[in-house]
Chain A
Amino acid sequence: MPSTPPQISPVEEQEKYLHDALGVVKAQAFHMKRALDKNKLMDALKNASAMLAELRTSLLSPKSYYELYMAITDELRHMELYLVDEFQKGRKVPDLYELVQYAGNIVPRLYLLITVGLVYIKTNTSLRRDLLKDLVEMCRGVQHPLRGLFLRNYLLQCTRNVLPDAPDTDVDCPEGTVKDSIDFVLMNFAEMNKLWVRMQHQGHSRDRHNREREREELRILVGTNLVRLSQLESVTLEKYQKSVLPGILEQVVSCRDAIAQEYLMECVIQVFPDEFHIQTLNPFLKSCAELEAGVNVKNIVISLIERLAAFSQRSDALGSEGVNILQEVQLFEVFSNQVSSIIANREYLPPEDMVALQVALVNLALKCYPDRIDYIDKVMLSSVEVLQRLGLEHLESHTPVAKELQKLLKIPLDNYNSLLMVLKLKHYAGLMQHLDYLGRKALSIYILNNALEHETIIPTAEESEQALTLLNTLVTDKNEHPIGELDMEELAEEQCLLARFIHQLRSNEPDDQYLILTSARKFCHQTITALVKAELAELPLRLFLQGALAIDQIGFENHETVAYEFMSQAFSLYEDEISDSKAQLAAITLIVGSLEQISCFSEENSDPLRTQCALAASKLLKKPDQCRGVATCSHLFWSGKSLASKGEETHDGKHVVECLKKGLRIAKQCMDTSVQVQLFVELLNHYIYFFEKGNDQVDVEILNQLIKKIGDELANLESSDEAEQISKHFSNTLAHLKLRMESPDGDRDVYRGIKLNPDGVVETEKEKVDA
């Protein structure tokens, strides 16, 4: 029928109740001891009974009850010692065991019965088995959870040293064997667990929190039963497998109470030896799968894995054959299977716990089976399957499950410090895909750093391809990065890492090396494209040009096409992305400079490129820039090499002159006369250069005309610093010519006819002749 919940009062009331009770105990204990001194056993029993009656209270919290219990049971020692002494002296009290059962209330009755029973056991071991059985069953009389727990605790503590520990025999043994002890303790454990779980249902539902806290305080009472079982020396592995563990697990699973289950499973792991655990993994883990939703199964399993991994490495971890236990127990396989089962069966297991279990498995494999890379791969595969089944893609970086996954993926790398080993894991790349963009990026960087730190060489094309695929988050841009500004510095750093890594891809076999580079080339292209997208212009431009130059050098099949492609890309970049006029000039100069060095192009490729350069130059924003640009282009037609010229300089004098003439025309269009003159001087220098190189299209006539023009214009310039500079430049140019003309070495004939001083003509021999 409905009962009034026990009135547990607040702290001061508790203190008062306890204080009062302890007062009674003190008084009764005093009288009891005095009666014993006078050998008045009946009186002493009455006092003991009165003292024990305080344990009938409903007023005390578990903490206070415990204090009272300790005080009373301490005093009971005196009774016990007295009786043992009497019995040993031969003064056995007749029917004492019977006698104490007449005590009025059940709580004192049973405490006395246990005390007296202990005395009997100590003084006559042939009664042991039957007495123990009787006592553990009699305790059923107290069904109140708190009182019952302490009563049974008293039973357990009293019998601590008298439990039979002899191996079982076929002969009937009234002293008892280890089987009787196991039965005794298991029954006590079952009853205590029942009472402990029952506490959950006591009191008002709003007090649940308090109740659970109180239950936690009492858990050691239940756990002591398991400790006792572990202390029985005759409990062999077989006994543990057949009687002890099944008995415990039955109670743990059936009680369906999360608090009890979580505590007791951990307790089992702690109190019994690793030798037992390693041989009973299947039943234990199966039970784990059946525990209540509120139990943190992950922690239980992981603590067991770590324990047994450590244990298996010990030299004394031997199986029945005397060889290392790992030969007998397939530790990884067992755990792997059971963990899968647990994951499949537990509805409320959060995904981060599932991944944490995989982490534990990987660590187990690495510790105990370091050469079994297939085990690591199996864990990778299981993880992929788990995530797929849950439909989890793109795990957001800040979530617990993503963090666990990152941890998992780093472990093989940290352990082997070899990207090559990681590449052997077939399911690694697939697992990595479950991270989101940021996660994959972070991991890719981690991998790169590891590879660079340990100077890992990737020796084959296949592995190079695999590696670059693994790192594809850094390599290709799938527009995945989050909205917001792209951090340039970060990007540059990443690409640097990648670039350094590319150098790790190398083989001593040239064929392999070529294949590797083909993969790398693909990557280079992708990287540069990525940079372009990132709105960097100059850098990718340089890279394309450098790429083209490099490709030009390496004579692999088709390299012309590839180089052309790079040059085209460079041009597109120039046209699309570079808009600042200064930048344009610099860029076109770069392009021209690069093109000039490339020799692999055939005419049908080199012609359009050169023309494009000239065209681009002529379209520059500012006239002076145009002039200079076009002048620079002229060199393409002279010293640029191609297949047509068999790798030799082209020496296309005509096109050179065309460029320079265009340059002149542009210069004349300049508004500023001083700029004009400056440009003329520069152009003159270009002309002289080609003249000296033997361009037959540049003749003395052209030179003279230009020299005259410059002279004229210079005279008309207003005096200024600038004009002086230009004048100086011109003088230097003329001085150079003069030197050449008068030089004892070299071809004076070449310079014949040059009028250095247009107004005052210096006659040369030829002229004298003609005149």
Chain B
Amino acid sequence: MMAESDTTVEATRRLNVKKQTLDDAYAAPANFLEIDVVNPVTTIGVGKKRFTDYEVKMRTNLPVFKVKESSVRRRYSDFEWLRNELERDSKIVVPPLPGKAWKRQLPFRGDDGIFEEDFIEDRRKGLEVFINKINDDYADVTVPVLEAMQHHSTTY
């Protein structure tokens, strides 16, 4: 294309690029989707039984989402439900959830079982990894997954 050569080689031909408007140039890229699992809280529920739930926060500027920000509280069993739905319906390899921790639910433990602070923190991290992995690996299920999270709850 340059220098002394007369031949214009196809492979290195320049593309015709439309000039970008200033607004487009400086706009925030529409590729932003954050999901966080935070703020574990243990409360007393129906039948005086304790349970822990987590805040699932979502922030996005993807056009496909109608609501750009949401926050719901969900518990481990909700994540289990979600995982089961995904395994049943779609062809994807669903990532694993953090463990069910049966042992921790047995009586006569020296500690607080499934309500131990460390355990809850590990579980929280695990749930965050779980939900983000689905989002990262399987872009096309992201929307249904997150909408399901928004609407389904075993508690409320």
Contacts and interface: CB of A to CB of B under 8 A. Distances in A.
Interface stretch (B21-29, B79-87, B103-111): B21-29
Nearest to B32: A201
Interface string A82-98: 00000000001011111
27 contacts: A1-B31, A2-B31, A2-B142, A3-B31, A94-B4, A95-B3, A96-B3, A97-B1, A98-B1, A98-B2, A98-B9, A98-B12, A120-B3, A130-B2, A134-B2, A137-B14, A140-B17, A194-B25, A197-B26, A200-B28, A201-B28, A201-B32, A254-B22, A254-B23, A254-B25, A256-B26, A257-B26
Given A101-B12, A120-B3, A254-B26, 18 more contacts: A1-B139, A2-B32, A2-B135, A92-B4, A94-B5, A97-B3, A98-B12, A101-B11, A140-B17, A194-B26, A197-B26, A198-B29, A201-B29, A201-B32, A204-B34, A250-B22, A254-B22, A254-B25
A413 interface: no
Nearest to B26: A255
A190 B25 contact: yes
Interface in B21-46: 22-23, 25-26, 28-29, 31-34
Closest 3 interchain pairs by CB?
A254-B22, A2-B33, A101-B12
Contacts of A200: 28
A4 interface: yes
B55 to A, nearest CB: 14
Nearest to A195: B25
Contacts of B28: 200-201
Contacts of A2: 31-33, 62, 135-136, 139, 142
Given A102-B11, A201-B28, A205-B34, A4 B2 contact: no
Interface of A: 1-4, 92, 94-98, 101-102, 120, 127, 130-131, 134, 137-138, 140, 190, 194, 197-198, 200-201, 204-205, 250-251, 254-257
Contacts of B31: 1-3
Nearest to A191: B25
A131 B1 CA distance: 10
Nearest to B136: A4
A250 B26 CA distance: 12
A125 to B, nearest CB: 13
Interface of B: 1-5, 9, 11-12, 14, 17, 22-23, 25-26, 28-29, 31-34, 59, 62, 135-136, 139, 142
B110 to A, nearest CB: 35
A250 B25 CA distance: 12
Nearest to B29: A201
Contacts of B2: 97-98, 120, 127, 130-131, 134
Of the candidates A98, A130, A255, A257, the one having the most CB atoms from chain B within 10 angstroms of its own CB is A98
A1 B3 CA distance: 40
A204 B25 CA distance: 21
A98 B139 CA distance: 39
A96 B22 CA distance: 35
Contacts of A98: 1-3, 5, 9, 12
A127 B4 CA distance: 10
A634 B2 CA distance: 124
Contacts of A250: 22
Contacts of B139: 1-2
Nearest to A256: B26
B136 to A, nearest CB: 6
A250 B3 CA distance: 34
A101 B142 CA distance: 38
Contacts of B32: 2, 201
Given A2-B33, A3-B31, A131-B2, A205 B59 contact: yes
A61 B9 CA distance: 38
Nearest to B35: A2
Nearest to A190: B25
Of the candidates B3, B23, B28, the one having the most CB atoms from chain A within 10 angstroms of its own CB is B3
A95 B34 CA distance: 48
Nearest to B1: A98
Nearest to B25: A194
A596 B26 CA distance: 91
A4 B35 CA distance: 12
Contacts of A102: 11-12
A96 B3 CA distance: 9
Contacts of A254: 22-23, 25-26
B59 A127 contact: no
A200 B3 CA distance: 40
A102 B25 CA distance: 28
A603 B31 CA distance: 101
A1 B4 CA distance: 42
A481 to B, nearest CB: 52
A131 B26 CA distance: 27
Contacts of A204: 34
Contacts of A95: 3, 5
Contact of A127 (B3, B11, B14, B23): B3
A110 B62 CA distance: 31
Contacts of B142: 2
Contacts of A205: 34, 59
Contacts of A131: 2
B18 to A, nearest CB: 12
Contacts of A1: 31, 139
Nearest to B28: A201
Contacts of A137: 14, 17
Contacts of A130: 2
A262 B5 CA distance: 47
B39 to A, nearest CB: 14
Contacts of B4: 92, 94
B3 to A, nearest CB: 5
Contacts of B33: 2
Contacts of A190: 25
A255 B25 CA distance: 8
A201 B29 CA distance: 7
Nearest to B140: A1
A747 B28 CA distance: 118
Contacts of B34: 204-205
A96 B5 CA distance: 10
A98 B4 CA distance: 11
A598 to B, nearest CB: 85
A1 B139 CA distance: 7
Contacts of B136: 2, 4
A98 B34 CA distance: 43
Contacts of B62: 2
Nearest to A254: B22
A92 B2 CA distance: 14
Contacts of A197: 26
Nearest to A1: B139
Contacts of B12: 98, 101-102
Of the candidates A97, A127, A131, A200, the one having the most CB atoms from chain B within 10 angstroms of its own CB is A97
A755 B64 CA distance: 130
Of the candidates A2, A3, A134, A197, the one having the most CB atoms from chain B within 10 angstroms of its own CB is A2
A296 to B, nearest CB: 21
A101 B8 CA distance: 13
Contacts of A127: 2-3
Contacts of B5: 94-95, 98
A749 B32 CA distance: 126
A138 B3 CA distance: 16
A350 B5 CA distance: 63
Nearest to A251: B22
Contacts of B1: 97-98, 134
A1 B2 CA distance: 36
Nearest to A198: B29
A394 B5 CA distance: 79
B61 to A, nearest CB: 9
B4 to A, nearest CB: 7
A101 B136 CA distance: 33
Nearest to A197: B26
Contacts of B11: 101-102
Contacts of A134: 1-2, 14
